[in-house]
Structure 1
Amino acid sequence: MTNILIVYGSGEGQTAKVAWEIAETLTKHDAQVDLFQGTDVPPGLDLSGYDGVIIGASIHLGKYQPYMLDYARRHGQSLSEMPAAFFSVCLTAAGDSPEERAQVAEYLATWTQETGWEPALVGSFAGALRYTQYGFIKRFIMRGIAKKSTGDVDTSRDYEYTDWESVAEFATNFLMLVQARQEVTA
């Protein structure tokens, strides 16, 4: 059985939702998955017990969670020696303009620059606007951001932009990468 570790950072929960969907897709393909929020990874967890690792983080105000950057830096050597993937979740990925695509590419490049780790597979998924969970100030700020990008400014409801088929495809592609590595080393 293929053993996969998923470690993610999530602000309002969309990255957690994406991580769970990836885990569910992998499990449907008979993989064993351990899933941890980046702040809850057991101390001393040995990555060598896994056939592959997926790291996920989200962008908030232009930055990834510091604890996820730190996790990738600390484990960069191990991640570079095994099938390992990274996925990013951000509202900007919901846009289709050249500027928004360039911004998403910049976020992904920043991840690699700040961690020193170049993943074998990278995914970028649109996030969500959770207006109903935000406080007044954050709701006001996010409404301004949304007005420029998605146009969804009704703060009485939430909006989800994640393309779940793309998430499942990312998971399946990662599993194929892991299985190809297993065949080579068998």
Structure 2
Amino acid sequence: MARILIVYESKYGQTEKISRFIADKMKARGHSVDLLEAHAKSTDLSHYRTIIVGGPVYANGYPRALSKWVRNHSGDLNIKPTAFFSVCLGVMQKDQTVQRSEARIVQGFFRKTNWLPKKWAIFAGALNYSRYGWFTKRIMHTIAKRSGADTDWNRDYEYTDWKEVSQFADDVLAIQNEEPMNMNLVF
């Protein structure tokens, strides 16, 4: 079975929760899976057959540590089977303009980091009002209102579709059996 690395950055915990869910599913299938926070000490990627990267969208971008990690490892990432998942509430909106905007954020991340994974997906995250400070709570409340999410900030809400995450994990396992790529990316 394959050795898989999942690299993530998670500010309020949902991206980490999704990463652990994917890891558990892959471990149940007999794979060896390591989790690494992007801001942690770097690791040797040569030991891994497949690499998955996950991050939350904040202010139309990804955490600096995640972008830096991907940029620093793009050479290795572009020659292995890789996948990316994005976590944001905007994906809950059914407005096509918003959907295209979310996809542009992901594509912009790939351009900035010079990386093109074989598979990527966007998952709805969570509203963890109990973890937010005063200012963030109000911003998230406004975003929730626009996306039709829950606005009672006296409790937390989870919107992640775990069936979608499970399907993503299956799709990633399928791509790891394909031949590695050797790409020179030009954006």
Q: Give the TM-score taking structure 1 as reference length.
A: 0.92
1:52 and 2:50 aligned: yes
**Residue deviations 1:24-80, cap 9 Å, x none?**
11111111000011122x44x211111110011111122200111111111111111
SS of 1:180's equivalent in the other structure is coil
**Residue deviations 1:158-184, cap 9 Å, x none?**
1111111111111111111112338xx
Contact in 1 for aligned 2:9/2:63 (Cα 8 Å): yes
Sequence identity, in percent? 37
Contact in 2 for aligned 1:94/1:127 (Cα 8 Å): no
1:6-155 matches, cutoff 5 A: 6-40=6-40, 42-43=41-42, 45-155=43-153
Contact in 2 for aligned 1:93/1:127 (Cα 8 Å): no
More strand by share: 1
**Residue deviations 1:76-101, cap 9 Å, x none?**
11111010111111111122221221
SS of 1:101's equivalent in the other structure is helix
Whole-angstrom CA distance in 2 between matches of 1:181 and 1:24:
25
Q: Count the aligned residue pairs.
A: 180
More helix by share: 1
Contact in 1 for aligned 2:61/2:109 (Cα 8 Å): no
Contact in 2 for aligned 1:129/1:160 (Cα 8 Å): yes
User: Per the alignment, do residues 53 and 99 of structure 1 end up closer, same or farther by CA in structure 2, a change over 3 Å counting?
Assistant: same
Pick aligned residue for 1:172 from 170, 173, 178: 170
Return 5+ residue gaps in structure 1 as ranges: none
Whole-angstrom CA distance in 2 between matches of 1:18 and 1:164:
8
Whole-angstrom CA distance in 2 between matches of 1:28 and 1:54:
17
User: Per the alignment, do residues 127 and 103 of structure 1 end up closer, same or farther by CA in structure 2, a change over 3 Å counting?
Assistant: same
Return 5+ residue gaps in structure 2 as ranges: 181-187
Q: Give the TM-score taking structure 2 as reference length.
A: 0.92
Following superposition, the deviation at residue 135 of structure 1 comes to 1.4
Whole-angstrom CA distance in 2 between matches of 1:171 and 1:162:
14
